[in-house]
Amino acid sequence: MGVDQRIRELCNSGVLNMLERDQLTDAYRFYKRLRLKLALLGYTDEIVPENPDKLAVLSRVLNLKGANEVLSTYEEHAGQVRSIYDQCLSRLLSK
């Protein structure tokens, strides 16, 4: 069973709402693509490089508009995942 299916099951069981499901699915797909591109570029020791040249290369292979978009997209997904985690944990603990 894949991650997409597990996320759908969490939604079907009421742990996630539909918006959270969609946000987690988008984040998972972005991170999976990011990890693949990092590995193909040989950037194996870091999740998102800090080096501006590496970020520029990464932005091109991800079809993003530059280093800032790589960072902002990464941070946007990370923030959404953190928020969903906190909300789900809170809901589960309040039951």
Show pLDDT as tens, one digit a residue, over the chain (95 residues).
899 999 999 999 999 999 999 999 999 999 999 999 999 999 876 678 989 999 999 999 999 999 999 999 999 999 999 999 999 999 889 87
pLDDT given for residue 46 in this prediction? 66
Whether the CB-CB separation of 22 and 28 falls below 8 Å is answered with: no
Whether the CB-CB separation of 27 and 82 falls below 8 Å is answered with: no
What single DSSP character describes residue 42?
T
pTM for the whole structure: 0.90
pLDDT given for residue 92 in this prediction? 86
